[in-house]
Structure 1
């Protein structure tokens, strides 16, 4: 019996410490330990995904958890997540703290596969010799498969599959709805960024993707050529566009847009169809472009097509937060945090 118990213990030990091989988006094989307890996301969209699957494995975050684009974390995010150290990352104009990352001993770095960041990320990770696994979320329709893959990496498949299932359902519902809106009847929408509202995104850009997912006809036609985005436009150009709806990122601009005589010349302002993006606990559309755009695109669709959108956006938000953040939203919170 002693020999049998010893043998079982040895088998259990070997099994617990066995390596596993994954293939990332580029087909590169990545060997990872069975027991994943120390994981780092290269950029906020990845870190947020890892958080909702299993925040206990995260070793750090990319920027302060509370900032101008992400708010009310104390209500919706775990105490542990709110206290994680800031290690930087490969996103926007930011740089990672390589020494701090190495000192934190991650078993793997999950990286964001996007052409505008790949070269810099690869060079730095090669320098520190830590295994990396690349996933692509530039296209939101990839979120379900990436959730499932990360669930396998973290050995949290049940949780990740539930998140993937809801993401898939929400995306398919949106796709079905948008197909019902004839192209000639798509709402003209301007994405206003910056405190003056005169920065925006190309219609072909991962930054503006949730507006396109929602069936919006983005008025600024171009192709994104930098990871930052935020194309400069003149008010005269916006006046020519004369959008039917304006989606706003900056609270500063939102406070002035309805009283500014210049902006009052626009159809969207005259009709009170200017909407501020919710940012609790993460931005619903962009900055960073995370899985939140799944619910954000539904919210935008409800604003672009208030008489056509077939769902209750309040119930969509409730269900999303119940699963992703394990928070039951009260009626007053829907109004306070999301103006719903």
Structure 2
């Protein structure tokens, strides 16, 4: 088996010498690429999600399997092999799977710690690596544009960029009004027990920042991965105005738990559950779904400010061929 893998690696190296064009990535690196790009591996879930939005058929390998609820929205990417990736907690890709799938290009978040070593590992496969910015929701603009340049499908890129620009412009226009209001103090409850959260500075909290809200927790990040463990006593001291729960199991149980009932937000029924279909609106992974997540938060915090339903237009653009039998939210 190992002999076969090394043979595939040799083929990848040979293929890597047959380049036909070059492209400059987000970090100024000029990278030689095949003339035609039809298979892309993104080394972290947010970037994979951007490829999914652009064209599911481009995904060569996944970071993790789709859940049963997500599969109807995966389109041509359903059934792709799982290669893992770099997304915290010591996770690394399966290089044997990558050798077998042989993507035309690999996308890597350029802000990832130790990115030089990561690029070196991929270089051993002989597959071109592009470093991509992924620190802010605004980086979606350059990600979609990059995918257009890679594939030649600039019409699709322009449509996604235009929607992203429109949404960000709408959100930017609300910022002066939000600044005049006392910010909603929230606790972002992650995990089935609700006792994991994010500290200020985490990109997982970006939708809350745009929604005019303030993190009730005062803590420091220990890693980019987030999911910082906190105690119930810490949450009680924070005394949030609202709890925003990632897990429905926690949101359903918190009102029945006498320990959590000591919190004002729980007693007054201000516990929100983040929508998770087609994919999570806020994070895990932080993706283009945040364009809906920011609107969702604003609608709950300041329901008079945004008019009309946006889900149908959003899904028609980002999931044009999704299965209409997908489970309802």
Q: Give TM-score scaled by structure 1 length.
A: 0.85
- Give how far 1:257 is off: 0.9
Residue of structure 1 in register with 2:273 after alignment: 276
Unaligned 5+ runs, structure 2:
1-17
Residue of structure 2 in register with 1:81 after alignment: 77
- Give how far 1:265 is off: 2.1
- Give how far 1:326 is off: 1.4
Residue of structure 2 in register with 1:320 after alignment: 314
Say if 2:142 is the partner of 1:141: no
- Specify whether residues 290 and 27 from structure 1 end up closer, same or farther in structure 2 by C-alpha distance, changes over 3 A only: same
| Separation in 2, partners of 1:328, 1:316 | 17
Residue of structure 2 in register with 1:306 after alignment: 303
- Secondary structure at the residue paired with 2:175? helix
| Separation in 2, partners of 1:244, 1:273 | 7
Residue of structure 2 in register with 1:62 after alignment: 63
- Specify whether residues 328 and 156 from structure 1 end up closer, same or farther in structure 2 by C-alpha distance, changes over 3 A only: same
- Give how far 1:147 is off: 0.8
- Give how far 1:183 is off: 5.5
- Give how far 1:295 is off: 0.9
| Separation in 2, partners of 1:120, 1:229 | 22
| Separation in 2, partners of 1:51, 1:249 | 22
Residue of structure 2 in register with 1:215 after alignment: 212
Quick check: 1:54–1:156 contact (8 Å CA) kept in 2? no
Quick check: 1:91–1:117 contact (8 Å CA) kept in 2? no
Unaligned 5+ runs, structure 1:
1-16
Residue of structure 2 in register with 1:170 after alignment: 167
Quick check: 2:243–2:265 contact (8 Å CA) kept in 1? yes
- Specify whether residues 104 and 333 from structure 1 end up closer, same or farther in structure 2 by C-alpha distance, changes over 3 A only: closer
- Secondary structure at the residue paired with 1:128? coil
Quick check: 1:53–1:156 contact (8 Å CA) kept in 2? no
- Secondary structure at the residue paired with 1:180? helix
| Separation in 2, partners of 1:58, 1:267 | 45
- Secondary structure at the residue paired with 2:203? coil
Residue of structure 1 in register with 2:3 after alignment: none
Residue of structure 2 in register with 1:13 after alignment: none
Residue of structure 1 in register with 2:226 after alignment: 229
Residue of structure 2 in register with 1:90 after alignment: 86
* Matching residue within 122, 140, 150 for 2:119: 122
- Give how far 1:213 is off: 2.0
Residue of structure 2 in register with 1:14 after alignment: none
The CA RMSD measured in Å over matched residues stands at: 2.3
Quick check: 1:211–1:297 contact (8 Å CA) kept in 2? yes
- Give how far 1:27 is off: 0.5
Quick check: 1:50–1:58 contact (8 Å CA) kept in 2? yes
- Secondary structure at the residue paired with 1:77? helix
- Give how far 1:63 is off: 0.4
Quick check: 1:243–1:268 contact (8 Å CA) kept in 2? yes
* Matching residue within 187, 194, 199 for 2:196: 199
- Specify whether residues 194 and 104 from structure 1 end up closer, same or farther in structure 2 by C-alpha distance, changes over 3 A only: same
Which range moves more in the overlay, 241-250 or 48-57? 48-57
- Give how far 1:327 is off: 5.9
- Secondary structure at the residue paired with 2:63? coil
- Give how far 1:46 is off: 0.9
Which range moves more in the overlay, 32-41 or 264-273? 264-273
Q: Show CA shifts across 1:64-109 (max 9, x none).
A: 111xxxx62243231x311111111111232101121022121110
Quick check: 2:81–2:97 contact (8 Å CA) kept in 1? no
Say if 2:152 is the partner of 1:155: yes
Quick check: 1:205–1:223 contact (8 Å CA) kept in 2? no
Residue of structure 2 in register with 1:37 after alignment: 38
| Separation in 1, partners of 2:122, 2:110 | 13
